[in-house]
């Protein structure tokens, strides 16, 4: 067993020094470390994933015992897991966390924390469990064809567990056997990725499984096989660990959400992969993302485990120099897509043309030239997956019946992966649009970062169904850093019904031309055709996406012909502005047994001497009890007699809000609050207002909502209407687009695509 | 020796080709613990000694006769959790059945891979592998392993079975079947 140093922590003293300096200096890294340590020490049974790091860093006897207990608890689950459908049929989900628990076992071994008999027994249980479940699992995956998050998880776990136990003192032959198969496949896992670094499985899998597996693959290969494995481009596709991590950084949108690319949709990102990229490259861009654009309250499930913060702290680079470039630069990858971002990152457009899975697209959706728009951190368009109750995309020709792991036959509809559920061109009403075979489905035509434009030709995927398809091209431009022009050109030999389909946030209203959407975050988008007919249908889609607003509006603009063209203006504006940041100075109070009601709570709060920012749970900011429910109180000064909104942190659990003793209903915000800071419209005020909030924050890694354990973060503020709103006129004449608004007038030259 | 030590002995034996190792592994195919039988099958695949074919076929015969319990509903368990799962296990189910559920597919898969590594075009081997490749009641890890093994044996007699398996709705199985068909045609 490799035991001299904790694996992946080459110099424990350096790590201890880094975290001690960070805590002493009160940096963000220091705050995160203190919050991890505080939670692990206060509720060790609820934060088992933090325990090994705290043991290694503090070397405190109780911390070491907590870590031992966590590993014993984990190993004790093996027996019953053997009877679960999860372990049998989703074995890869169990393999990756098993590898990390094995690694944590080794950390304690490096501290000399085990008695020999227990060490031997636990090691045998860990090796056996790996061998009978995940060695067989890896061999199930065809080599070399299978390169995906599942096989990465399996190859990594066999390689890592094998490496940890193949050497003296245990010198396990089983471990060596697992290492041989696992390590052999790791280079092709990295090299089998496209050069873009995008796995094609969707940003959630990319960010939560593929990305987090990369550091471990690299660290293992560099230790066991020697050489440099991070930047190296590998066969068969030329993929590299570095390209994966850079793509993950690109998936971060301004405002802190992941792109809703392919499967699953908008999500909060994980941080450890970014930390590792910063650690390896020294590029201050990654540190900039971590320190100024990441949330640190919530716990993200990486690789089916809750140790994102652990690995973030290990790899978080101590800052050396400022990042000079844009934090959210425009980018393009010729095979998959491009993003065009304004200099101040307020406007963000991503156009995608990544390959979709033929026949039955599930993860790699059919989204030729679909567009994601976001302004001032507020998503304008939606993508992702529908809720279970949503049947909007159960198209007639997208039903499939499969044997479910030999237990049941299951009929499902894969329409949500097809063209009809994306913001794309729909021809002759075929919503189940998909490829029937593998071929190059699209190509980049133009990308001009300076001119902020991108165009891609997606004709092949249309030509498969309609041989007379000549051109299906979409071009997007960011103009003056202030609005977008989006142009569609559809050319066939014969006439067809063509619809330009869009999915927008759910508050949509018709305008004299086009329509207007208003997001819950106070961003308005005017969307109208400057060229092409304004003939459209609008339909509310409840349950799509399954997050954010929990619904959307599908808009189909229609025309018929052999050549159909639209030139859209997409003009966003902020309808609210911050009047006052009220993050600081809140009276806070724990409600340990969750028994307080408003009258008693507010009385106690008024006497509370604990004052904290209402930006993160109190126990993450200060040495106070790690308690689930908290109350906050503050007197604020909203504008008199005007509309105003209270912006609260996102991810407030079970939140309730009172203003001068009157409760404000937060129900409409509950789902969206998981991703976005809620803007709560408040009653008109005639003077100061006493605001009181009751909320919960997760105090356990064993309870979670989906992939996230909720814990709030954000900056409360008073918002008021913006005065400079309104689109007055827009036109396209003589190759000039003219846009007149309350904020200004622009004239932009635009040549229609030939 | 405890179960783990017997598993270790199997894999260690595969690194010492010879009569003694073969003998110990063939004996281990009859071990009372399925983990040891599984380990022995993996090891025999690495040893690649044709003398192991009879033992492996007998192992598969025993596995075919084992009961297979399927739970009435899903119990995913929580990956990586320190909390124990609570699978729904009716009390009337015998321990033998529960053990078969616990090991489902694993021993068969290891034996299929071993037969593929040995690559002996024995009609009895082909019959078993053809049957597994086409039997959708088998776990897909077994179907895929059977297809892969058939590709390693590369007998023309497997063409029809592999052509059918190439249309399996499960990706690993059809991928291995298609590769195996290519192996048949060189």
CB atoms within 10 A of CB A175: 27
pLDDT tens-digit readout, A307-347: 999 999 999 999 777 888 899 999 999 999 999 999 999 99
Kindly report the nearest CA distance between residue B71 and chain A, in angstroms.
8
Question: What CATH number does the domain containing A702 carry?
Answer: 2.60.120.260
The pLDDT score that the predictor gives to residue A704 is 61
> To the nearest whole percent, how much of chain A has pLDDT over 70?
98
Residues 6+ apart with CB under 8 A from B77: A77, A80, A81, A84, A85, A86, A87, A94, B85, B87
Question: What is the number of CB-based contacts under 8 A between chain A and chain B?
Answer: 147
Question: What CATH number does the domain containing A194 carry?
Answer: 1.50.10
Task: Give domain status of residue A1, yes or no.
Answer: no
Residues 74-103 of B with CB under 8 A from A: 74-87, 89, 98, 101-103
3-state secondary structure string across A129-160 = HHHHHHHHHHHHCCCCCCCCHHHHHHHHHHHH
Structural domain for A93, as ranges: 12-232+259-315
Query: Is the Cβ pair B85, A84 closer than 8 Å?
Result: yes
Query: Is the Cβ pair A83, B11 closer than 8 Å?
Result: no
Tell whether A128 lies on the interface with B, counting CB pairs under 8 A.
yes
Residues 271-310 of A with CB under 8 A from B: 304-306
Kindly report the nearest CA distance between residue B138 and chain A, in angstroms.
7
In this complex, which of B7, B75, B172 lies closest to A141 when CB atoms are compared?
B172
**Structural domains for chain B:** 1-69+95-120 (1.25.10.10), 121-186 (1.25.10.10)
Q: Which of A528, A442, A420, A479 is nearest to A746 (CA)?
A: A479
In this complex, which of A70, A77, A133 lies closest to B84 when CB atoms are compared?
A77
A293/A208 same-domain check: yes
pLDDT tens-digit readout, A446-494: 999 786 999 999 999 999 999 999 999 999 999 999 999 999 999 999 9
Tell whether B136 lies on the interface with A, counting CB pairs under 8 A.
yes
Task: Give domain status of residue A750, yes or no.
Answer: no
A392/A533 same-domain check: yes
Task: Give domain status of residue A408, yes or no.
Answer: yes
Q: Are A290 and A329 in contact (CB under 8 A)?
A: no
Task: Please report residues of A whose CB lies closer than 8 A to that of B11.
Answer: 173-174, 176-177
The pLDDT score that the predictor gives to residue A354 is 96
Tell whether A173 lies on the interface with B, counting CB pairs under 8 A.
yes
Q: Are A429 and A377 in contact (CB under 8 A)?
A: no
A565/A586 same-domain check: no
The pLDDT score that the predictor gives to residue A724 is 81
Kindly report the nearest CA distance between residue B161 and chain A, in angstroms.
19
A285/A428 same-domain check: no
Query: Is the Cβ pair A140, B104 closer than 8 Å?
Result: no
Query: Is the Cβ pair B11, A177 closer than 8 Å?
Result: yes
Q: What is the mean pLDDT of chain A?
A: 95
Q: Which of A44, A45, A66 is nearest to A55 (CA)?
A: A66
Residues in chain B: 186
A339/A418 same-domain check: yes
Residues 402-421 of A with CB under 8 A from B: 402-403, 405-407
The pLDDT score that the predictor gives to residue B92 is 80
In this complex, which of A84, A97, A702 lies closest to B87 when CB atoms are compared?
A84
Task: Give domain status of residue A244, yes or no.
Answer: no
Higher-pLDDT residue of A70 and A506 is A70
CA pair distance A81, A431, nearest whole angstrom:
42
Q: What angle do CA A320, A323, A327 make, to 5 degrees?
A: 140
Query: Is the Cβ pair B85, A83 closer than 8 Å?
Result: yes
In this complex, which of A70, A76, A172 lies closest to B84 when CB atoms are compared?
A76
Q: Which two tokens stand for residue A87?
A: 């372990």
Query: Is the Cβ pair A86, B77 closer than 8 Å?
Result: yes
The pLDDT score that the predictor gives to residue A451 is 67
CB atoms within 10 A of CB B60: 23
3-state secondary structure string across A667-698 = HHHCCHHHCCCCEEEECCECCCEEEEEEEECC
Kindly report the nearest CA distance between residue B13 and chain A, in angstroms.
9
Tell whether A135 lies on the interface with B, counting CB pairs under 8 A.
yes
Total number of domains constituting chain A: 3
Q: What is the mean pLDDT of chain B?
A: 94
Kindly report the nearest CA distance between residue A21 and chain B, in angstroms.
32
Task: Give domain status of residue A735, yes or no.
Answer: no
A357/A277 same-domain check: no
CA pair distance A747, B165, nearest whole angstrom:
62
CA distances, B113 to each of A616, B38, B58, B176 (Å): 53, 11, 15, 12
Tell whether A117 lies on the interface with B, counting CB pairs under 8 A.
no
A671/A567 same-domain check: no
Task: Give domain status of residue A120, yes or no.
Answer: yes
Task: Please report residues of A whose CB lies closer than 8 A to that of B37.
Answer: none
The pLDDT confidence band at residue A719, using thresholds 50, 70 and 90, is very high
pLDDT tens-digit readout, A394-445: 999 999 988 755 466 788 999 999 999 999 999 999 999 999 999 999 999 9
Which of A539, A574, A609 is where one domain is finished? A574
The pLDDT confidence band at residue A1, using thresholds 50, 70 and 90, is very low
The pLDDT confidence band at residue A707, using thresholds 50, 70 and 90, is low
Q: Which of A75, A76, A43, A77 is nearest to A62 (CA)?
A: A43
Tell whether B117 lies on the interface with A, counting CB pairs under 8 A.
no
pLDDT tens-digit readout, A128-169: 999 999 999 999 999 999 999 999 999 999 999 999 999 988
Which of A530, A556, A574 is where one domain is finished? A574
Q: Which two tokens stand for residue B95?
A: 């321990």
Q: Which two tokens stand for residue A30?
A: 């220091």
A305/A342 same-domain check: no
The pLDDT score that the predictor gives to residue B88 is 76
- Answering whether pTM is above 0.90, one says yes
The structure tokens 């208003």 sit at A518
Task: Please report residues of B whose CB lies closer than 8 A to that of A76.
Answer: 84
The pLDDT confidence band at residue A3, using thresholds 50, 70 and 90, is low
CA pair distance A564, A495, nearest whole angstrom:
9
CA pair distance A206, A203, nearest whole angstrom:
5
Tell whether B1 lies on the interface with A, counting CB pairs under 8 A.
no
A336/A264 same-domain check: no
Question: Chain B interface, mutation test: which of A124, A173, A701, A706, most B Cβ atoms within 10 Å?
Answer: A173
Is the pLDDT confidence value at B90 over 80? no
DSSP, collapsed to helix, strand or coil, labels residue A721 as strand
pLDDT tens-digit readout, A245-299: 999 999 999 999 999 998 889 999 999 999 999 999 999 999 999 999 999 998 8
Task: Give domain status of residue A747, yes or no.
Answer: no
A591/A514 same-domain check: no
Residues 6+ apart with CB under 8 A from A142: B144, B148, B172, B175, B176, B179
A534/A586 same-domain check: no
DSSP, collapsed to helix, strand or coil, labels residue A348 as strand
Is the pLDDT confidence value at A708 over 80? no
Query: Is the Cβ pair B82, A702 closer than 8 Å?
Result: yes
Is the pLDDT confidence value at A82 over 60? yes
In this complex, which of B70, B77, B169 lies closest to A87 when CB atoms are compared?
B77
pLDDT tens-digit readout, B149-185: 999 999 999 999 999 999 998 999 999 999 999 999 8
Kindly report the nearest CA distance between residue A302 and chain B, in angstroms.
11
CA pair distance A354, A201, nearest whole angstrom:
10
A197/A89 same-domain check: yes
Task: Give domain status of residue A57, yes or no.
Answer: yes
């Amino acid at each position: 067993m490799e035991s001299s140093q904790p694996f992946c922590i080459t110099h424990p003293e350096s790590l201890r020094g880094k975290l001690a300096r960070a805590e002493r200096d009160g940096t963000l890294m220091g705050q995160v470390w203190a919050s991890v340590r505080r939670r692990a020490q206060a509720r060790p049974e609820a934060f088992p994933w933090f325990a090994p790091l705290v043991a290694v860093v503090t070397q405190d006897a109780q911390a070491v015992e907590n870590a031992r207990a966590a590993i014993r608890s984990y190993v004790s689950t093996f027996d019953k897991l053997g009877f679960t459908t999860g372990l049998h049929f989703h074995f890869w989900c169990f393999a990756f966390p098993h590898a990390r628990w094995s690694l944590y076992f080794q950390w304690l071994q490096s501290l000399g924390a085990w008695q020999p008999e227990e060490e031997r027994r636990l090691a045998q249980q860990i090796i056996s469990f790996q061998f009978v479940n995940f060695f067989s699992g890896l061999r199930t995956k065809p080599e070399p064809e299978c390169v995906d998050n599942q096989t990465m998880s399996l190859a990594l776990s066999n390689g890592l567990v094998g490496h940890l136990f193949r050497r003296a003192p245990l010198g396990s032959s089983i471990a060596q056997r697992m290492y041989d198969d696992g390590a052999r496949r790791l280079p092709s896992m990295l090299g089998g990725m496209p050069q873009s670094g995008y796995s094609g499985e969707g940003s959630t899998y990319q960010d939560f499984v593929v990305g987090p597996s990369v550091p471990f693959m690299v660290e293992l290969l560099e230790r066991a096989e020697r050489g440099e494995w991070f930047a190296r481009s590998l066969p068969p596709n030329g993929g590299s660990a570095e390209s994966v991590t850079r793509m993950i950084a690109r998936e971060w949108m301004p405002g802190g959400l992941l792109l809703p690319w392919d499967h699953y949709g908008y999500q909060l990102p994980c941080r450890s992969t970014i930390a590792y990229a910063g650690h390896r490259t020294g590029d201050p861009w990654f540190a900039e993302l971590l320190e100024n654009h990441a949330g640190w309250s919530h716990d993200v499930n990486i690789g089916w485990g809750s140790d994102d913060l652990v690995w973030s702290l290990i790899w978080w680079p101590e800052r050396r120099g400022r990042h000079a470039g844009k934090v959210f630069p425009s980018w393009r990858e010729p095979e998959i897509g491009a993003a065009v971002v304004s200099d101040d990152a307020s406007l963000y457009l991503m156009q995608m043309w990544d390959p979709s899975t033929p026949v039955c697209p599930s993860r790699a959706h059919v989204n030729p030239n679909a567009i994601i728009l976001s302004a001032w951190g507020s998503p304008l368009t939606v993508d992702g997956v529908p809720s279970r109750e949503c049947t909007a995309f159960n198209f007639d020709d997208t039903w499939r019946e499969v044997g479910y792991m030999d237990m049941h036959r299951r009929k499902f509809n894969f329409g949500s992966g097809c063209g009809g559920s994306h913001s794309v061109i729909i021809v002759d009403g075929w919503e189940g649009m998909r490829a029937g075979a593998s071929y190059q489905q699209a190509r980049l035509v133009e990308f001009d970062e300076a001119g902020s434009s991108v165009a891609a030709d997606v004709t092949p995927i249309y030509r498969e169904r309609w041989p007379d398809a000549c051109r299906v091209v979409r071009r997007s431009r960011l103009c003056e850093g202030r609005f977008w022009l989006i142009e569609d050109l559809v050319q066939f030999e014969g006439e067809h019904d063509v619809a330009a389909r869009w999915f927008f946030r759910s508050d949509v209203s018709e305008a004299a031309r086009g329509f207007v959407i208003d997001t819950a975050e106070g961003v308005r988008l005017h969307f109208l055709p400057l060229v092409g007919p304004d003939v459209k249908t609008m339909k509310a889609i409840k349950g799509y996406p399954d997050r954010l607003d929990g619904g959307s509006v599908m808009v189909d603009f229609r025309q018929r012909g052999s050549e159909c063209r639209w030139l859209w203006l997409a003009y966003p504006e902020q309808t609210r502005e911050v009047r006052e940041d009220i993050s600081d100075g809140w009276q806070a109070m724990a409600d340990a047994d969750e028994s307080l009601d408003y009258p008693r709570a507010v009385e106690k709060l008024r006497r509370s001497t604990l004052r904290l920012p209402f930006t993160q749970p109190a126990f993450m900011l200060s040495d106070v009890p790690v308690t689930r429910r908290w109350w906050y109180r503050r007197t604020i000064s909203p504008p008199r007699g005007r509309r105003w909104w209270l912006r609260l942190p996102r991810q407030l659990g079970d939140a309730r809000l009172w203003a001068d003793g009157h409760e404000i209903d937060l129900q409409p915000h509950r789902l969206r609050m998981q991703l976005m800071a809620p803007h709560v419209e408040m009653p008109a005020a005639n003077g100061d207002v006493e605001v009181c909030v009751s909320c919960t924050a997760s105090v356990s890694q064993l309870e979670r909502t989906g992939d996230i354990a909720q814990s709030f973060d954000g900056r409360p503020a008073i918002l008021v209407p913006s005065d400079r709103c309104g689109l007055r006129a827009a036109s396209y004449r003589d190759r000039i687009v003219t846009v007149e608004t309350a904020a200004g007038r622009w004239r932009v030259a635009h040549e229609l695509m030939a | 020796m405890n179960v783990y030590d017997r598993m270790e002995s199997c894999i260690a034996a595969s690194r010492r080709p010879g009569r003694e190792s073969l003998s110990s592994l063939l004996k281990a195919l009859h071990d009372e613990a399925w983990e040891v039988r599984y380990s022995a099958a993996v090891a025999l695949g690495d040893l690649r000694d044709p003398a192991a074919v009879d033992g492996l076929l007998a192992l598969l015969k025993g596995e075919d006769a084992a009961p297979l319990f399927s739970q009435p509903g899903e119990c995913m368990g929580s990956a990586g959790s320190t909390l124990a799962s609570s699978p729904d296990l009716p009390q009337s189910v015998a321990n033998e059945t529960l053990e078969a559920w616990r090991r489902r597919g694993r021993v068969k898969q290891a034996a299929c891979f071993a037969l593929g590594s040995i690559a002996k075009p024995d009609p009895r081997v082909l019959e078993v592998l053809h049957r597994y490749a086409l039997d959708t009641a088998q776990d897909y890890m077994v179907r895929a392993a059977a297809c892969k093994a058939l590709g390693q044996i590369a007998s023309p007699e497997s063409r029809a079975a592999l052509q059918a398996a190439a249309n399996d709705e499960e990706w690993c199985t059809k991928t291995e079947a298609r590769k195996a068909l290519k192996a048949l045609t060189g």
